[in-house]
Amino acid sequence: MKTFKLVALTLLHEQKQDIPLIDGLMINKEDENKRWLIEAYVEQTYRELFTSLKESEAPFDALVTISRKTNDPAHVRATVRSVTMMGERMSVLMDATLIKRSNLAEVVLEDLVQRGLHGETLLQQFKQQMHTKRG
């Protein structure tokens, strides 16, 4: 198994939501199913969101970036395994499967098109998100 520092987490559940990390890890289980274990250490303001995801047991898509924020994110399908309160913060443990390797531009464009953007608005939002994601 290999462990990496998780530096960015974006949920693609219902709406796109960047989750600010205090700290995080991703562990590659190195199996034939491309499974990962993700731990995100976040503020408790996300308690309701992650508790709801855990209770539903429904998989959700997310973008995860390891090592450096300038790296392209990986697209994963995840489920929440546990939510553990730690004072004013919490640890969220997720099981994930790498569903496809795609470049950042494809992921951003797909999200914008799914939100119904087109024309000049699509172009402006695309440029803004690419600039934000690339740092």
**Does residue 108 or residue 57 have the better pLDDT?**
57
Contact 63, 46 (CB under 8 A): no
Average pLDDT rounded to a whole number, residues 94-110: 77
Counting residues of the chain whose pLDDT is more than 90, the rounded percentage is 58
Q: Which residue has the tokens 């990390």?
A: 21
Contact 16, 48 (CB under 8 A): no
Q: Kindly report the number of other CB atoms within 10 A of residue 26's CB atom.
A: 24
- pLDDT tens for residues 35-82? 999 999 999 999 999 999 999 999 999 999 999 988 888 889 999 999
Report the chain's terminal Cα–Cα distance, integer Å. 29
Q: Which residue has the tokens 């219902």?
A: 14
